[in-house]
Structure 1
Amino acid sequence: MTAVNPIIPGFAPDPSVVKVGEWYYLINSSFHLSPGLPIYVSKDLLSWHQIGNAIYRRDQLSLARSNTNLSTQSPTGDILLATGGLYAPTIRHHNGIFYVVCTNAIRADISSLDSNSVKQNFILSAKDIWANEWSDPVYFDFHGIDPSLFFDDGKVYVQGAAAQGISMFEINLLTGERISPERTIWTGSGGLYPEGPHIYKRNEWYYLMISEDGTHENHMVTMARSKDIWGPYETCPNNPILTARGTSEYIQHVGHCDAFEDGEGKWWGVSLGVRKASNGSCILGRETFLTSGRWDKEWLTFDMVKLIPTDPVRREGTYDLSAAPNVDFVYIRDADLSKYDISNDGTQVTLTASRTDLSHPSLSPTFVGKRQRRLTGESIVTLRHPSGVSALDKLKAGLVCYKDEHRYIRLFYEASNSEIVFEFLNNAQKTVNTEKHTIHSFEQLTLRMTYTEQSYWLSYRADTSSDKGFTHIASVDALQLTDRDFVGPVLGIFAVSEDDGPVVKFTDFSVK
């Protein structure tokens, strides 16, 4: 049997699932990307396709202050790259309406530490999720992250991760008004950073499931229960109920889980995890994995996350991650969509260059791309020679693998010097590499980025080349793009100029 996991590969952290009728609906964090909060559907938990994004209009909210902070983590001295924006959504369904509750982590200023960020929590709703028409956010007062919703006996409760532990209060979904005081209901099993809470009810017990010890190597899922929703909660004697810590498993950093029951009475969990290569790289970042669960002596337990779940599934799964035209295209922060003209099949793209480069911490550069979904593949695009562009424009346009303003690999044409330029930046690792090749003239220039689990290879081909073959210019070890972070790679195209306005036409753009 072919591998099932990850069910949502490539930059797909913090999954949440709800089953309505014969369909499963799954949502992920998206941080600094817009549109935000992608929504996928499946009938069998294996084959998924994207039907929309819960944050799809610029007037819903702003991601301008979703910059990435670099902070030193003691005592290891490792650098943590904490990106702002849309954190850990939960999706639920009640009385014919879908609800998404989420945090927009807004950085206080460009140089602020994560602890000084503003946590803006909100609720979205949609009567017809397939129409991709979500409400404006309804904001509510909560100084924490990772909110979740639980419906019980006509009341609605929000659980979230606050400074003192897992907090909860009753809420009015229409107004965001608190109906009850906020109370701490559990501080976890003893691990650091109790977060990602969800409540489930079974046999008159309220089960609270959370994650602890951060989202990296010590990540774990723990549980507690109570006869009263407000507690006190007794800790599960089998904690952690899901983790990969202390193992040599290929799938590591397992945590942030949501549990659900299928139509046949079986329980499952979706969690984040990373595929960690033998050299220590986990190039695609945090992805969504499926694992089987069961109730054992009144407690829920999960099987270890594997490429193939322990229990049988109905059929082999295939990835089918986009449905509507260009639904999987993403931009950085608050994009000006007037600078983009994209064909329905996504292969022909015209960009209007802006002055904002990829390294800017808050503005939106002219960039569009797709999440890297595969460990092995390629991204390729053909650039037509920009007409009417002078050296004074200092135009840069080309192909890029982007994680955030501190880290990217790009291959581009620089008009001012008639050069093909390779550039690799990783401020967390204090690395900057460049390589330049002079190119005298061309009508069409093809740029290619080939990747494996171990490395990226960059090459180009001009239509004036005598052998019509690709010229290798540089390579990057995947470890050089692997850090303690929240996000994953996005493969796309960009255009930047010292003067606003140059138009660049790309053809045959693909991410495979």
Structure 2
Amino acid sequence: MSTIQNPILPGFHADPSILRVDDEFYIATSTFEWFPGVRIHRSKDLQNWQFAASPLTRRSQLDMKGNMNSGGVWAPDLSYHDGTFYLIYTDVKQWHGAYKDAHNYLVTAPAIEGPWSEPVYLNSSGFDPSLFHDDDGRKWFMNMIWDYRSGRNPFAGIVLQEFSEAEQKLVGPVKTIYTGTEIKLTEGPHIYKKDGWYYLLVAEGGTEYDHAETVARSRSIDGPYETDPDYPLITAQGNPESGLQKAGHGSLVDTPKGEWYFVHLCGRPLNGAYCTLGRETAIQKVEWTEDGWLRLANGTRYPDMATPAPDLPLHPYPKEDVKDDFDADALSGHWNSLRVPMDESWCSLKANPGWLRLYGRESLGSVHNQSLVARRQTSFQCVAETSVSFDPEYFQHKAGLVIYYDTEDHVYLHLTGHEEKGRVLQIIRTKNGVYEELLLAPIRTAQTGAVQLRAEINKDTMTLFYKDERTTEWTRIGPVLDTTHMSDDSAAQVRFTGTFVGMACQDYSGMKRAADFDYFLYKED
């Protein structure tokens, strides 16, 4: 029997929403403060997945300038009806403290690749929205409702309201249809209809190590909903030996031959605690019991690293290039920016053909205008490498290779200017928001020509190297670094993304000094 190996979407791919249209499957995942918004992958066999689209590519659809870390796009929901794809998403402006400024929107498209419409604003009462298309043509919108009042459960339950496609707005009464179980923190609703039942799937327990997914059902879409007496459907809580932790928040799909699968977020911790790759997407085969409840096919509530594959022909996709030479007219779907879209004012493939040019803007601590282009780290053992041509005049000019979790945690091997030494290499580490220069005497490098920069990541450690026109071999620079501070789990406040590797450029003098990057190599060991 063939199996699917988990995770199916490694690296930061959280909150999966799965959909089948005819014989093709799609998964939409959260992107938080990274632009473009939402990532969609496609598959024909549930085993092999290929990046398909990022629907939110324009600032008119998603403007996250100023959004706090781990804000932005939370838990998208992808659905399809009558020739149209529907994508529901939240743009979270701030989420610390009592309030959640979370705005819910809808965009549509005739094909998964687009063009995707301008957004329709829906509400701001909570996050994790989704849309259900009923058999009678009516459409129902759900989200968890946030109750900030003192003495209340802030995760106050799942609310339901009708969406009028003709009026392009929510209409009618808002009804709380489910308040969850004692696991609490009820969120992430999805409704499915089968055999006359409406099945409501919700995430519970928070998105850390107590995470879970619970199923309830009703004969009427607006309830009352009965909780599965053998809940939760899935969790890793109480099973610390499992290779997949944080199991929960997911969605359901069937195959053309009637097999059922559940995709869910998960984390693979290093040293028992640190998910440096972020929350990933895994899949489990599920089965329906005689009395109409859903169970994992493995007979437990714990996720497996491998699950039985469906009865579908294999459909592998071409292997992706490990090296980007920046010779194309546009950057591939691997690449992301922070909060705002890439445009010619700061990120150009045209200014110096065959190179990626970044114009220096704000610091790595900025939540507004960073010149940073990066891709997900998707393996615990990998190499990231680039070559940068840059002539810094002052210490305010910086450009180089960045390993980045968020504004509070990152490592930056870069070229900069020094009053006595000229062009030098420096390593900045920001750990839990504390800035540190790891080379108290920066290293003078060749004063002209490109400099190659390299990071070798081996699980919880990272070693940095450089090579310039004076050398033919890689030279190690700085100490061996711990990577675990770049994880969901290392901060005092929970956070939701994952480690990225990429290129950045800063200019605090206002001159917009440019750096040219000849290539970027990302290779998994």
TM over 0.5: yes
- 2:262 is aligned with 1:269: yes
Residue correspondence of structure 1 range 382-401 to structure 2 within 5 A: 382-386=387-391, 389-391=392-394, 394-401=396-403
* Whole-Å separation in 1 of the counterparts to 2:432 and 2:359: 28
- Paired position in structure 2 for 1:402: 404
* Whole-Å separation in 1 of the counterparts to 2:183 and 2:243: 23
Aligned amino acid, residue 330 of structure 1: N
Among 197, 220, 238, the alignment partner of 1:246 is 238
Change (3 A) 1:138 1:167: same
- Paired position in structure 2 for 1:136: 118
Change (3 A) 1:470 1:374: same
Asked if the contact 2:398–2:507 (Cα under 8 Å) also holds between the matched residues in 1, the reply is: yes
For 1:15-39, what per-residue CA distance to the aligned partner results, in whole angstroms no more than 9, with x for missing partners? 0011001111111000101111011
Asked if the contact 1:267–1:294 (Cα under 8 Å) also holds between the matched residues in 2, the reply is: yes
Asked if the contact 2:390–2:415 (Cα under 8 Å) also holds between the matched residues in 1, the reply is: no
- 2:128 is aligned with 1:149: no
Among 345, 352, 355, the alignment partner of 2:359 is 352
- Paired position in structure 2 for 1:444: 450
Among 101, 108, 111, the alignment partner of 1:125 is 108
Among 202, 219, 223, the alignment partner of 1:231 is 223
Change (3 A) 1:320 1:406: farther
Asked if the contact 1:31–1:66 (Cα under 8 Å) also holds between the matched residues in 2, the reply is: no
- Paired position in structure 2 for 1:373: 378
- Paired position in structure 1 for 2:324: none
For 1:69-106, what per-residue CA distance to the aligned partner results, in whole angstroms no more than 9, with x for missing partners? xxxxxxxxxxxxxx110000000000100000111111
Among 65, 88, 93, the alignment partner of 1:106 is 93
Asked if the contact 1:455–1:475 (Cα under 8 Å) also holds between the matched residues in 2, the reply is: yes
Among 209, 216, 219, the alignment partner of 2:211 is 219
- 2:426 is aligned with 1:434: no
For 1:409-465, what per-residue CA distance to the aligned partner results, in whole angstroms no more than 9, with x for missing partners? 11001123522111111226x574522323252412110011122222211112213
Asked if the contact 1:26–1:40 (Cα under 8 Å) also holds between the matched residues in 2, the reply is: yes
- Paired position in structure 2 for 1:488: 498
Shift of 1:178: 2.2
Aligned amino acid, residue 443 of structure 2: H
281-290 or 419-428, which deviates more: 419-428
- Paired position in structure 1 for 2:294: 300
- Paired position in structure 1 for 2:428: 423
Which secondary structure does the structure 2 equivalent of 1:182 belong to? strand
* Whole-Å separation in 2 of the counterparts to 1:133 and 1:220: 35
Asked if the contact 1:7–1:288 (Cα under 8 Å) also holds between the matched residues in 2, the reply is: yes
Q: TM-score, normalised by structure 2?
A: 0.87
Aligned-CA RMSD value? 2.4
Change (3 A) 1:347 1:510: farther
* Whole-Å separation in 2 of the counterparts to 1:216 and 1:279: 13
Asked if the contact 2:390–2:399 (Cα under 8 Å) also holds between the matched residues in 1, the reply is: no
Among 61, 69, 74, the alignment partner of 1:87 is 74
Asked if the contact 1:48–1:320 (Cα under 8 Å) also holds between the matched residues in 2, the reply is: no
Identity in percent: 28
* Whole-Å separation in 2 of the counterparts to 1:348 and 1:306: 43
* Whole-Å separation in 1 of the counterparts to 2:310 and 2:53: 30
For 1:223-256, what per-residue CA distance to the aligned partner results, in whole angstroms no more than 9, with x for missing partners? 1111111111111011011111110201100110
Q: How many residues matched?
A: 485
170-179 or 440-449, which deviates more: 170-179
Change (3 A) 1:185 1:215: same
Asked if the contact 1:460–1:472 (Cα under 8 Å) also holds between the matched residues in 2, the reply is: yes
Shift of 1:501: 2.1
For 1:256-303, what per-residue CA distance to the aligned partner results, in whole angstroms no more than 9, with x for missing partners? 010110111000011000112344322101001111111013101124
Shift of 1:319: 7.7
* Whole-Å separation in 2 of the counterparts to 1:385 and 1:246: 52
- Paired position in structure 1 for 2:463: 457
- Paired position in structure 1 for 2:44: 43
Change (3 A) 1:276 1:437: same
- Paired position in structure 2 for 1:172: 164
Aligned amino acid, residue 246 of structure 2: H
Asked if the contact 1:50–1:322 (Cα under 8 Å) also holds between the matched residues in 2, the reply is: no
- Paired position in structure 2 for 1:77: none
Which secondary structure does the structure 1 equivalent of 2:485 belong to? helix
- Paired position in structure 2 for 1:11: 12
Listed as ranges, the gaps of 5+ residues in structure 2 are 147-155, 322-329
* Whole-Å separation in 1 of the counterparts to 2:319 and 2:127: 28
Aligned amino acid, residue 112 of structure 2: I
* Whole-Å separation in 2 of the counterparts to 1:103 and 1:4: 30
* Whole-Å separation in 1 of the counterparts to 2:311 and 2:13: 22
- 2:198 is aligned with 1:206: yes
* Whole-Å separation in 1 of the counterparts to 2:360 and 2:435: 26
Change (3 A) 1:205 1:121: same
* Whole-Å separation in 2 of the counterparts to 1:321 and 1:122: 34
Aligned amino acid, residue 165 of structure 1: G
Which secondary structure does the structure 2 equivalent of 1:55 belong to? coil
Change (3 A) 1:105 1:228: same
* Whole-Å separation in 2 of the counterparts to 1:366 and 1:441: 23
38-47 or 3-12, which deviates more: 3-12
